[in-house]
Structure 1
Amino acid sequence: MSLDQPVFSALLPVVVLIGIGFAAGRLQLIRGAAVRDLSNLVFLVLVQALLFRTMATARLDRLDLHSVALYYVVSGLLFFALLLARGLSSRSAVLALAAIFSNTLMIGVPLVQLAYGDAALVSLFTLISMHALILLTLATVVLELLVAREQAAAGAGPRRHIAATVARAMKNAVLHPVPLPIIVGFLYSLTGWGLHPVVEQPLRLLGNAFGPVALVLVGVTLAQTAIGTQLKGALQIAALKTVLHPLLMAAAGWALGLSGLPLKVMVVAAALPIGANVFLFSQRYHKEEDLVTAAVAVSTVMAMGSISVVMGLLGTL
């Protein structure tokens, strides 16, 4: 099996789904007025089911966190470095999230399984189980803090003491469509009760619909975006995600003695294209929606080449 085969096998369905959405948007089968409602469906219904079920059924006591701790350290440092480099703003936070948040589920799982076998999935599932909990919660807290600061600076609300601003931002971050189902699911998992099939099956069906519907929605939005004007910015973000992120992960892993399948899985995960959750974040906060939409599509296409190179180089280690 060539190295290219698992890459294209995993990425082509994503490209096709985005293409279907693009065609539906251009043919006006899904009109612009419906995009916000579809975004709410994905963000407020489908992703809720996915996140809650993932955390509620995870056996956190059996997860080996050693192989993924470094991934989050590298991702977090890159997030804050990009945030500082672009300036402390909610816009910068969304773009920084795009540079670190991978499409681990729809692309990562089939790619890693095809390339490295079922043994590698243990490391990847450990990463996935904490992916949204750590990165999306981090991004939500930062975004809420920056939005509160921007509103205060614009005179959109009363000026508060920094402690009150932080407390309000933390409250908004917890009572948020992403961290809340993660937290509730995590707390439920501690009971050890499991989910009854009557509850688990509808949640699973809704969660399974998240990825395809979100990617079709990316395509619909892309059809309404003048991608030519966003191409340069989208290429820059895609390069950060699919080139810089895995390079930093590989360098950090090598420096700290990480090797074998755990290193390969973490580097490949870092090289994955931008996850659809970033698109939903940009929609929710109304920040750089066109640029993020273009970046998701561009990074998916770019990843066909960059992941092939990454996996080729990892094969020599």
Structure 2
Amino acid sequence: MTNPVVSALFPVVFLIAIGFIAGKARFIRAEATKDLSNLVFMVLAPALLFRTMSTVHVEQLNFKPVAMYFVAALLLFASLMAWQGLNRRAAVLALAATFSNTVMIGIPLVGLAYGQAGLVTLFTLVSVHSLVLLSIATLVLEMVSAREERLAGRGGARHMVLTVLSAMKAGIIHPVPLPIIIGLLFAQTGWVLPEVVDRPLHLLGSAFGPVALVLVGAMLTQVRVGAHLGSALGISLLKNMALPTLMAGLGLAFGMTGLPLTVMIVTAALPMGANVFLFAQRYEVAQALVTASMAVSTVLGLLTVSLVMALVDWLG
């Protein structure tokens, strides 16, 4: 009988490998990945997220594991800031060690491994994942940037409240959390999607996983790790192993069990999310290191996620 961890991970690895080969062979050119990314995030993901949440009632959602996930992430974020110091580089690298690729890798993996119930737990997190972590990262980065400017004698304090409010707005009006929220609101009405609408959404949602994973593989061909390998490996181990270990410890300490805890631990073990690079670009710090870390974290994730899933399966 096939091991359930292997059954869930093999399609993920296989599709990423296909994307990598297609990228190397230039079947998927670098300039085409942006269009594919838009297709995944603007069309396929909203269809899957809305359709899944359109049958879920709020009383079915369990927010305790989501809250515990953020406690674990923020503890690691704060620890890294304390270790590295109050500066932009430390803040970006702390975000890199705590921000998971919950959509492009997390949704296909959790769907394959834990089914519809696992996806509902994941989507509860996904609906606020970017909103919470990116808003906090924005606040910290704006504060340390203003501090660095004052120390450099340049003044020019930033309007942090407006910046954070803008980040929160962007975190809600976004193709990932917005369809989740709309789907939940629709579910509370008691209505059912008509077949003529549900069927196309099902087809689009079914395409999300394969296309997203192939795109991940294609994008890996565009990254150069080079001299940043050592540092990138350290950040990747924090992201892929330290965060799920912290999540597991906190969850067990507070009496969490079953599928919700499992999904949160596996989500914490996912590779680094792409939004971290956008922050590195915006604040002009550690861009090459973050790019290298994303590649290393994704490749390493094939091993570390397997290990975490096997351990969770064994403990459960």
Sort the TM-score into its range (normalised by shorter chain).
Answer: 0.7 to 0.9
Verify: 1:186 aligned to 2:188, yes or no: no
Unaligned runs of 5+ in 1: 114-120
CA contact (8 A) 2:236 2:296 kept: no
Measure, in 2, the Cα distance between the counterparts of 1:60 and 1:14: 30
1:98 aligns with 2:99: yes
Q: 1:130 aligns with which of 109, 124, 128?
A: 124
Partner of 1:107: 109
Change (3 A) 1:95 1:271: closer
Residue 133 of structure 1 aligns with an amino acid whose one-letter code is: S
The answer to whether the 8 Å contact 1:93/1:139 transfers is no
The worse-fitting range, judged by mean Cα deviation, of 245-254 and 80-89 is 80-89
Superposition deviation, residue 15 in structure 1 = 1.1
Cα distance between partner residues in 2 of 1:93 and 1:43: 25
Inter-partner Cα distance in structure 2 for 1:225 and 1:160:
33
Contact 2:277 2:291 in 1 (8 A): yes
Measure, in 2, the Cα distance between the counterparts of 1:212 and 1:226.
25
Distance 2:34 2:24 in 1: 17
Shift of 1:52: 2.2
Aligned equivalents of 2:251, 2:196: Cα separation in 1: 43
Pick the aligned partner of 2:298 from 292, 296, 301.
Answer: 296
Unaligned runs of 5+ in 2: 150-155, 282-286
Would you say how many aligned residue pairs link Structure 1 and Structure 2? 297
Q: Sort the Cα spacing of 1:56 and 1:106 in 2 relative to 1 into closer, same or farther, 3 A.
A: same
- For residue 193 of structure 1, give the secondary structure of its aligned residue in structure 2: coil
Q: Please tell me whether the aligned partners of residues 93 and 235 of structure 2 are also in contact (alpha carbons under 8 angstroms).
A: no
Deviations 1:157-204 (A, max 9, x none): x97644333333333333223232233223222222232222222222
Shift of 1:233: 4.2
- 2:153 maps to none
SS in 1 for 2:183: helix
Deviation string for 1:130-176 (max 9, x for gaps)?
0211213223434555787799899xxx9764433333333333322
The 5 Å alignment of 1:1-317 reads 5-66=3-64, 69-79=67-77, 81-82=79-80, 89=88, 91-92=92-93, 94-98=95-99, 101=102, 103-112=105-114, 122=117, 124-142=118-136, 161-259=159-257, 261-262=258-259, 265-266=262-263, 268-270=265-267, 272-274=269-271, 278-279=273-274, 281-282=275-276, 288-312=290-314, 314=315
Change (3 A) 1:24 1:213: same
AA of the residue aligned to 1:232: G
Look up the equivalent residue of 1:107 and give its one-letter code: L
Residue type matched to 2:165 in 1? A
- The alpha-carbon deviation at position 68 of structure 1 amounts to 5.3
CA-atom RMSD, angstroms? 3.5
Alpha-carbon distance in structure 1 between the residues aligned to 2:268 and 2:171: 28
CA deviations on 1:261-290 (whole Å, 9 max, x unpaired) are 357625652564327xx23x3576656345
Distance 1:194 1:82 in 2: 47
What TM-score do the two structures reach when normalised by structure 1? 0.76
Change (3 A) 1:266 1:38: closer
Change (3 A) 1:82 1:147: closer
Paired residue type of 1:135 = H
Q: Is the 8 A contact 2:63 2:124 kept in 1?
A: no
The 2-side partners of 1:284 and 1:97 are apart by 15
**Could you tell me the TM-score, scaled by structure 2's length?**
0.76
Q: Secondary structure at the match of 1:98?
A: coil
Structure 1 residues 232, 59: CA separation in 2 closer, same or farther (over 3 Å shift)?
farther
Q: Provide the C-alpha distance between the structure 1 equivalents of 2:302 and 2:218, rounded to a whole number of angstroms.
A: 16
The alpha-carbon distance between structure 1 residues 53 and 177, as it changes in their structure 2 partners (threshold 3 A), is: same
SS in 1 for 2:7: helix
Aligned to 1:118: none
Q: Structure 2 vs 1, CA of residues 109 and 48 (structure 1 numbering), >3 Å: closer, same or farther?
A: closer
Contact 1:49–1:207, Cα closer than 8 Å, also in 2: yes
In 1, Cα distance between the equivalents of 2:226 and 2:304?
A: 16
